Structure 1
């Protein structure tokens, strides 16, 4: 399987994506679209919930030093 990266103008973007979606051999389309306001809010809520769980001792995390060493 091969991957193609195409840079196009904003004007042509939607037209191009619709065209590609109609090709039977395209398996997956990834775009770099900005997240919607709703998606951002949901991600923030999920992150805050994880912080609350950690503070209550119900969620284990990796120490920052260990995390950085893995990088």
Structure 2
């Protein structure tokens, strides 16, 4: 059985709890390598859900 727990590590208590969980032999912790937007972009690239553009068009979109 798996249980997912999301911990907001901004509070001191949450950090202590997280460190405690890391010491337990039956707990596996998975942390994302990147922030959510980056993870989403990586998945889109892997699934080929991207669009091809030129550098000029990219700059135009970026600065307009």
Same structural fold, with TM-score higher than 0.5 when normalized by the shorter chain = no
Task: Give the TM-score normalised by the residue count of structure 1.
Answer: 0.34
Task: Give the TM-score normalised by the residue count of structure 2.
Answer: 0.36
